Structure 1
Amino acid sequence: MDTGRLPAREAARRELSKGAYHENDPNPLQRALDHLWTWFGDVVSAASVAAPGGPAGLIVLLLTVFALAAALRWRLGAPLPGRRPTDTLFAHGPRSAAQHRAAADAHAAADRWNQAVQERMRAIVRSLEERALLDPRPGRTADEAAAEAGRALPTYATRLRAAARVFDDVTYGGRSADRPAYLTLLDLDRAVETATPRLTAAREGAAE
Structure 2
Amino acid sequence: MPTWGEIVVRAGGAPVTTPRDAARDAARDELVKADYHRHDPSIQERVVNWIMERIDDALGALAGGGTSGTTGLILFLVVALLIGAALWWRLGAPRRTARTDLGVFGGTGPRSAAQHRADAERHAAAGQWAEAVREQLRALVRGLEERTLLDPRPGRTADEAAVEAGRALPEHAAALLTAARVFDDVVYGERTADQAAYQLLRDLDRTLERARPVLVPAAGGAA
TM-score, scaled to structure 1: 0.61
Q: Taking every aligned residue pair, what percent have the same amino acid on both sides?
A: 55
Change (3 A) 1:163 1:37: farther
Structure 1 counterpart of 2:180:
164
Structure 1 counterpart of 2:190:
174
Change (3 A) 1:37 1:93: farther
Which structure: greater strand fraction? 2
Q: Which has the higher contact order (CA 8 A, sep 6+)?
A: 1
Change (3 A) 1:93 1:36: farther
TM superposition shift of 1:41: 1.3
Q: Within 5 Å, which residues of 2 pair with 1:69-148?
A: 79-80=96-97, 83-84=98-99, 86-91=101-106, 92-148=108-164
Instruction: Give the conservation status (yes or no) of the 8 Å contact 2:99–2:188.
Output: no
Deviation >2 Å, runs of 4+: 34-37, 42-45, 83-87
The unaligned stretches of length 5 or more in structure 1 are: 1-33, 48-57
In 1, Cα distance between equivalents of 2:101 and 2:213: 27
TM superposition shift of 1:35: 7.2
Count of aligned residue pairs for this structure pair: 148
Change (3 A) 1:124 1:39: same
Give per-residue Cα distances to partners, 1:141-175, cap 9 Å, x unaligned: 11100110111101111111111111111111111
Which structure: greater helix fraction? 1
1:154 equivalent to 2:170? Answer: yes
TM superposition shift of 1:36: 10
The unaligned stretches of length 5 or more in structure 2 are: 1-67
Change (3 A) 1:89 1:37: farther
Structure 1 counterpart of 2:12:
none
In 2, Cα distance between equivalents of 1:88 and 1:176: 20
In 1, Cα distance between equivalents of 2:157 and 2:112: 17
